[in-house]
Structure 1
Amino acid sequence: MPKPYPKEFRDDVVRVARQREEGVTIKQVATDFGISESCLTNWIPIADRDAGIRPGPSAADAGERREAKRRIRLLEQENEVLRRAAAYLSQANIAPQ
């Protein structure tokens, strides 16, 4: 996966794309900045969500959700380990002596 562009760069490119003059296409703006047209067309809706122009989760919300899912997965793994340990120990306690 290629290294992501810095946020300041993405913000500048999106700003220029929004303020482009009549007759200047998104493709020309992308070419001027050395990125692909599809990259720029992906950045514009993301910037709109972050600015509150479009509905949907912002980048911060997505980061929090990703972190919460990671934490839930870790807790589920810990819970499974404890469940297995409890089952093992309960079997050891009822074994005939």
Structure 2
Amino acid sequence: MSKSANFPKEVRERAVRLVLEQQDSHASQWSAIGSVAAKIGCTHETLRRWVRQAERDEGKRAGPTTSEQERIKALERENRELRQANEILRKASAYFAQAELDRRPK
């Protein structure tokens, strides 16, 4: 479980919105992140990652969006399961082939 899951989605969205709204009144986005992070009780780095992901989701920054990341995880999981199934079938096939060779002819 990721640490960001400790905060409800509404809190994360509100924190990101506050950073984006307040970054003009601060010297940099990092200082705005620091200010908001202290108020909601998360680390600067956690809030920075939330902001970067929100920027990717809005198309303001290059990289995979949240939905694309979820799709990639699902495909990787499916790929892993299929590899395991293929390995089981390969071993079963080898076992039955060996059993067929070991049978005594009548």
Same structural fold, with TM-score higher than 0.5 when normalized by the shorter chain: yes
Give the TM interval when normalised to the shorter protein.
Answer: 0.7 to 0.9
Percentage of matched positions with identical amino acids? 32
Aligned length: 97
The answer for the alignment partner of 1:95 in structure 2 is 102
Structure 2: runs of 5 or more not aligned = none
User: Structure 1 segments of 4 or more deviating over 3 A?
Assistant: none
Structure 1: runs of 5 or more not aligned = none
The alpha-carbon distance between structure 1 residues 60 and 90, as it changes in their structure 2 partners (threshold 3 A), is same
TM-score by length of 2: 0.81
The answer for the alignment partner of 2:37 in structure 1 is 30
After superposition, the CA RMSD in angstroms is 1.8
Cα offset, 1:94, TM superposition:
1.4
For residues 45-67 of structure 1, the C-alpha deviation after alignment (integer angstroms, 9 at most, x for no partner) is: 11001111111111111111111
Measure, in 2, the Cα distance between the counterparts of 1:3 and 1:10. Answer: 8
Range 29-38 or range 64-73, more displaced: 29-38
